[in-house]
Amino acid sequence: MTTLIDDNRSDGREQRFIAQVRQALGVSAATADQRRASLFDQRNRPAGEALLQAARNRSPAQREVLLTLLQERAQPLNLKIHPQPGYGAAAAAIGRLVTGKAPEWGTAKSVVAWDHERVRRLDLPQVLAPEGVPVAFAPGRDADEAARAAFRRQVTGAFVGVTTADWCVADTATLAMKTRPGQARSVSLVPSIHVAVVAIDQLLADLRELYAHLKWNPDEKSEGLTNCLSLISGPSKTADIELVMVHGAHGPRELHLFVVKDSSSQD
C-alpha cells in the first residue's frame, strides 16, 4: 500500500518540472494553455448544464429516493449506510461505532480525521473524550514537515479515519473525494475503518451527473482537479486467491457512510 499524506505542498517542484518539459518540447506557456483549452470539447455544455440544473432543483422527496437507491446499491458492496437526521445524531452514532469496534492491531484506540467543516461539526474530540480516544486532524497547507511527520505516525497508529466527500454517486454507491491541504488521502486508506460523512444534497444520481459537475459546475471549474481524485465504492476487497473474497487487503476492511438529512440541524 502506498501511503501519501499530502500532495499539496506548494514548493514549486511541480511547476519547475512542467516548465522543463515545455522547454524540452519547445512549447511556450501560452501555447501550452491554448492547447490544453482545445482538448475539452464545448459541444456538450448544454447537456452538462441541464444535468447540473436537475441536480440543483431536486426536491427533498427526490433526494430521499436517491438515498434509498444508494442503500440498495451499497448492500452488495459491503458499504454500510447510516442515515442521520443531523450532525449531532451522526456524531453520537460515530461515537458508538468507535466504542464498539476493536482495533485490528494492538489495543489502543485513536482516530484521525480530515480538517474539514463537515467533519469539524461532529466535534469528535469532545464526543470521544469520555472514552479516552484521541482525535488528530490532518495538517493544513502551512504545516511544517515536523507536523506532517507527526501526523503520519498518528495515521499509521489509528484504527478509524474520518472524512467527508465532494460527492456521492447513488447509482454506483461511489464516494468522489478530492485531496487538498487538510484532506490527506491516507486518512481514507490506512486505518482499518473508514468513516465518511456527507449531506444528503451531495448525493448525485449517476456518474454522468458527477462528470457534469466536475466539468461544468462553476465552483469545480474554478478549483479544477486537485492532485488526486479518488472514487471509492465500498471497503478494500480482493478475490485473487482461490476466488475467496477478502476485505481489507489493500485498504480499510470497513466503510461506513453517514448521510446527514438536515445539514442545518445538530440533532
- Evaluate whether 73 touches 171 at the Cβ level (below 8 Å): yes
Q: How far is CA 2 from CA 29, 186, 251, in A?
A: 33, 9, 10
Per-residue pLDDT tens over the stretch 209-246: 999 999 889 888 888 888 899 999 998 777 676 666 67
pLDDT at residue 46 in the model: 81
How many residues does this entry show for the chain? 267
Confidence of residue 9 (pLDDT cuts 50, 70, 90): very low
Confidence of residue 11 (pLDDT cuts 50, 70, 90): low
- Evaluate whether 133 touches 109 at the Cβ level (below 8 Å): yes
CATH superfamily of 41-260: NagB/RpiA/CoA transferase-like (3.40.50.10420)
- List beta partners, residue 104: none
> What is the average pLDDT across 17-34?
87
With a cut of 80, say whether residue 42 has pLDDT above it: no
Output the nine-digit C-alpha cell for 97: 461505532
pLDDT at residue 190 in the model: 95
Q: Break the chain into its structural domains and give their ranges.
A: 41-260
pLDDT at residue 3 in the model: 36
